[in-house]
Structure 1
Amino acid sequence: MPPDQRSRSLLQRHRGKLLISLTGIAALFTTGSVVVFFVKRWLYKQQLRITEQHFIKEQIKRRFEQTQEDSLYTIYELLPVWGMVLNENDLNLDSIVTQLKDQKNKSTRAKSNESGEASPLKTKAELWNELELKSLIKLVTVTYTVSSLILLTRLQLNILTRNEYLDSAIKLTMQQENCNKLQNRFYNWATSWWSDPEKRVGDAMAAKKSKKDGQEVYINEQAFLSLSWWILNKGWLRYNEIIANQIEVEFNGIHPRDTLTLEEFSSRLTNIFRNTNSQILQQNNNSLTSILLPQDSSGQEFLLSQTLDAEALTSFHSNTLVFNQLINELTQCIESTATSIVLESLINESFHFIMNKVGIKTMAKKKPGQEDQQHYQMAVFTMSMKDCCQEMLQTAVGSAHGGGVNEYLAALDSVQPLDDLSASVYSNFGVSSSFAFKD
């Protein structure tokens, strides 16, 4: 039998086995290819998911850090306003110093009251006593008010930023979910546009309503941010009242010529802070809340009338849902134990800042030959407190954007418990800032 016939005969005899083998090889290859494809696809999705998670994590971190910077800038913008409020409420220390200089130069002229009659001038001793008392009151009042203001601003902006971020995330997720249906949705929209004119009208009305809702939300958020007006114009007076009473107790009978050591001055100031804290930070006591926020509808209405224009106020009254939700959360934050702890930390940091500055300024006022002197006249402490208070209220142009830095605000802004509370509010998880920012 010729070789080619033998080959064909052999191929015919084993054709079934060959087909089975080839089919098996093809199936195995196809299965392997499919498995490899799905494995690669799974790995790609896992990598994409990890990348998206990392991106979201970085976005959250950047948004959080930016919010804390915005809070500090806000305080810089509000300080000049409050400085004017203090001066208008008889705490203008520079005015008293000017009168003292006039007394020293014997150039003071009699002033006239509203009736046109000459009013009696204050003596030098009376002016020094007034400067001593008001320097103490202003210094401690600035401490409590600025500490409370930076705390309030952090709470407000972190609540708002978190809500805005969540809204954006939800919208983005919905857009991604609907992306795969874009062509079908476009087809349905196109056909309905020609076949259903009533739907076009409905879509236009829905868009108009959405725009109106957006404006109402914006006005509600502006009303929420305007709450800081309360402490700067009304709430701080409660601090002022408590502090004035404590100063009267601790410094009663100490005149400008009397002497104290730094330790004695620090001890008396410590008592003022401790007793003020006990009245403000007591649990089951709404003292802090009433200082930071208006507690009745009339106070709230008065605040909003001072901060919103007539058109915005009318729009606000038509829908206050968002405002009520925001203020309810803010009130819960203020009344929490964590917030009291943070405020106390800010006040403690303020006390250390004051004693450091007053100590440096007081010792710098020593005259030659007094280097070993440990006692200082109260008048020296008074001028040191005045200078310290001026630094704490420093609002040089560009301070928040790389210009002159307010050391006091920088010190408060770096208090760790404040960052922890801010992260807790921002995340709404109730844990410290390490929860999301560790790699």
Structure 2
Amino acid sequence: MLPPNQRPRSLLQRHRGKLLVSLTGIAALFTTGSVVMFFIKRWLYKQQLRITEQHFIKEQIRRRFEQTQEDSLYTMYELLPVWEMVLNENDLDLDSIVTQLKDQKNQSARSNADKSAESLPLKTKAELWNELELKSLIKLVTVTYTVSSLILLTRLQLNILTRNEYLDSAIKLTMEQESSNKLNNKLYNWVTSWWSSPEDNMGDATVAKKTKKDGQEAYINEQAFLSLSWWILNKGWLNYNEIITGQIESELSGINPRDTLTLEEFSSHLTRIFQNINSQIFQQNNDSLISTFLPRSSGEQEFLLSQTLDPQALAGFHSNTLVFKQLINELTRCIESTATSIVLESLINESFHYIMNKVGVKTMAKKKPEQEDQQHYQMAVFTMSMKDCCQEMLQTAAASPHTGSVNEFLATLDSVQPLDDLSASVYSNFGVSSSYAFKS
């Protein structure tokens, strides 16, 4: 019989193998579990980081979109004074006619006082009122169509450029991050240092110089693209004006300043004018609309650029016009699309309601106290109301979003929902940076 102190040792020796296997299995299981948990936590962290980055990117895209729409409105405030000067230079200066009416009596009195004085023939009071009546409505409707087109063009231009700028920035950021990762890899730097040479560094400098040149050329191309607003303000609006003048002369024939109309009758006349103009502008296969927005021939395009770019920039532009052509192609497809025509028509309809509301309020305000029950107004009263309304639509001297005082007409057009929808569609079309396709 073995001594008592040897029995536990024999039992331990007998089960030592099983114990080691069990401990090894437990350790392996624990290690595996720890590794799995590590990778799961790492995966969850990356997923959370990716979601956070996506939210950040979406927020950046949203903020940039909102800023672009604000920039479009600020641009309109800068363009309106220029547009008003163009109108006045093209025989649509209504204030000069009003001045002639005020001075007409004085001029007649001076002429009668000096019988032997030779003077130029003066327009009669009736002739001046007829001219004011016609030109007030022509200017009012011309402003409606031109400003609606201009705010639409500005939205399309800036959203196209902002989207492309955002894509370029995202691509550059990605490349910089990849380059940074490579630089942080010591093994990569150690390996590549064996075959890098001074010529490689010179090549990098050449690439950087070329990139800078390409950036300058792209900037000039973008400035040329933005200068298209000059075309509407100086040339394109004449397409509208010709159609508008013909329709107004036809509709107002036989209506004199002394004739009386109700607000409903005046609204009916104005409605027919807008309907007839729309039928001509938006009719199928009509180049009137695209010719208003863009120069069609190479000669017209070259004239536009010569008016908007300085000689040095123009020479740089001619050396590389690729970006400009791509932008023009996309913009042309946008303008030719059904969606854009619908938006422009929505802007014009909103303008019509704005005009009728303003003219109605101003006309009733001109009613004399003893005429409170009168429903008819002389056409001359409507004429002055249209003149005042047109002046407010073009007013930007005291109005600016920066000062808190805004142009009500611009604010009305800027808030038209179809315009925002089209802008969002163009801005978010991130998949077409190279092809510049537009989904109508």
Question: In the TM superposition, what are the counterparts of 1:128-207 in structure 2 within 5 Å?
Answer: 128-184=129-185, 186-187=189-190, 196-207=197-208
Q: What is the identity, as a one-letter code, of the residue corresponding to 2:147?
A: V
In the other structure, the counterpart of 1:433 is: none
Q: Secondary structure at the match of 2:369?
A: coil
Q: Is the 8 A contact 1:96 1:127 kept in 2?
A: yes
In the other structure, the counterpart of 1:113 is: none
In the other structure, the counterpart of 1:428 is: 429
Alpha-carbon spacing, 1:358–1:55, altered in 2? closer, same or farther (3 Å): same
Q: What is the identity, as a one-letter code, of the residue corresponding to 1:405?
A: V
For the pair 1:325 / 2:337, whether they are aligned, the reply is: no
Counterpart-to-counterpart distance in 2, 1:357 and 1:131: 19
Counterpart-to-counterpart distance in 2, 1:182 and 1:427: 34
In the other structure, the counterpart of 1:42 is: 43
Alpha-carbon spacing, 1:176–1:105, altered in 2? closer, same or farther (3 Å): same
Counterpart-to-counterpart distance in 2, 1:55 and 1:8: 67
Counterpart-to-counterpart distance in 2, 1:206 and 1:179: 18
For the pair 1:382 / 2:383, whether they are aligned, the reply is: yes
Note the C-alpha offset of 1:372. Answer: 1.1
Alpha-carbon spacing, 1:140–1:108, altered in 2? closer, same or farther (3 Å): farther
Counterpart-to-counterpart distance in 2, 1:142 and 1:108: 37
Counterpart-to-counterpart distance in 2, 1:189 and 1:372: 93
For the pair 1:342 / 2:333, whether they are aligned, the reply is: no
Note the C-alpha offset of 1:396. Answer: 2.3
Q: Secondary structure at the match of 1:401?
A: coil
Alpha-carbon spacing, 1:270–1:3, altered in 2? closer, same or farther (3 Å): farther
In the other structure, the counterpart of 2:284 is: 283
1:239-297 deviations in Å (ceiling 9; x for gaps): 11100000011101111100011111111111111111111112322211000100000
* More displaced stretch, 135-144 vs 98-107: 98-107
For the pair 1:65 / 2:62, whether they are aligned, the reply is: no
Q: Is the 8 A contact 2:359 2:385 kept in 1?
A: yes
Note the C-alpha offset of 1:8. Answer: 2.0
In the other structure, the counterpart of 2:408 is: 407
Alpha-carbon spacing, 1:223–1:377, altered in 2? closer, same or farther (3 Å): same
Alpha-carbon spacing, 1:175–1:7, altered in 2? closer, same or farther (3 Å): farther
Percent of pairs with identical residues: 83
Counterpart-to-counterpart distance in 2, 1:15 and 1:108: 134
Alpha-carbon spacing, 1:343–1:328, altered in 2? closer, same or farther (3 Å): same
Q: What is the identity, as a one-letter code, of the residue corresponding to 2:318?
A: H
In the other structure, the counterpart of 1:23 is: 24
1:168-196 deviations in Å (ceiling 9; x for gaps): 1112222333433223465567666xx62
In the other structure, the counterpart of 1:267 is: 268
Q: Is the 8 A contact 1:145 1:236 kept in 2?
A: yes
Counterpart-to-counterpart distance in 2, 1:280 and 1:289: 10
In the other structure, the counterpart of 1:79 is: 80
In the other structure, the counterpart of 2:237 is: 236
Q: How many residues align?
A: 422
User: Normalising by structure 1, what TM-score?
Assistant: 0.92
Q: What is the identity, as a one-letter code, of the residue corresponding to 2:140?
A: L
Q: Is the 8 A contact 1:397 1:403 kept in 2?
A: no
In the other structure, the counterpart of 2:371 is: 370
Counterpart-to-counterpart distance in 1, 2:191 and 2:155: 47
Q: Secondary structure at the match of 2:377?
A: strand
Gaps of 5+ in 1: 111-116, 431-439
For the pair 1:121 / 2:146, whether they are aligned, the reply is: no
Alpha-carbon spacing, 1:30–1:108, altered in 2? closer, same or farther (3 Å): farther
Q: Is the 8 A contact 1:342 1:421 kept in 2?
A: yes
Q: Is the 8 A contact 1:135 1:386 kept in 2?
A: yes
Counterpart-to-counterpart distance in 1, 2:350 and 2:105: 37
Counterpart-to-counterpart distance in 2, 1:118 and 1:310: 48
Alpha-carbon spacing, 1:125–1:27, altered in 2? closer, same or farther (3 Å): same
1:283-318 deviations in Å (ceiling 9; x for gaps): 322211000100000000000000000000000000
1:110-136 deviations in Å (ceiling 9; x for gaps): 8xxxxxx84211111111111101000
Counterpart-to-counterpart distance in 2, 1:396 and 1:298: 35
Q: Is the 8 A contact 1:259 1:375 kept in 2?
A: yes
Q: What is the identity, as a one-letter code, of the residue corresponding to 2:425?
A: S
Note the C-alpha offset of 1:9. Answer: 1.7
Counterpart-to-counterpart distance in 2, 1:64 and 1:357: 32
Note the C-alpha offset of 1:6. Answer: 2.5
Counterpart-to-counterpart distance in 2, 1:353 and 1:158: 26
Alpha-carbon spacing, 1:397–1:357, altered in 2? closer, same or farther (3 Å): closer
Q: Is the 8 A contact 1:358 1:384 kept in 2?
A: yes
In the other structure, the counterpart of 2:437 is: none
In the other structure, the counterpart of 1:114 is: none
Aligned-pair Cα RMSD in Å: 1.8
Q: What is the identity, as a one-letter code, of the residue corresponding to 2:234?
A: N
Q: Is the 8 A contact 1:256 1:378 kept in 2?
A: yes
Alpha-carbon spacing, 1:175–1:202, altered in 2? closer, same or farther (3 Å): closer
Counterpart-to-counterpart distance in 2, 1:188 and 1:265: 84
Q: Secondary structure at the match of 1:278?
A: helix
Q: Is the 8 A contact 1:286 1:335 kept in 2?
A: no
Alpha-carbon spacing, 1:119–1:305, altered in 2? closer, same or farther (3 Å): same
* More displaced stretch, 365-374 vs 227-236: 365-374
Q: What is the identity, as a one-letter code, of the residue corresponding to 1:276?
A: I
In the other structure, the counterpart of 2:33 is: 32
1:409-438 deviations in Å (ceiling 9; x for gaps): 0000000000000011111279xxxxxxxx
Alpha-carbon spacing, 1:3–1:158, altered in 2? closer, same or farther (3 Å): farther
In the other structure, the counterpart of 1:436 is: none
Counterpart-to-counterpart distance in 1, 2:305 and 2:348: 29
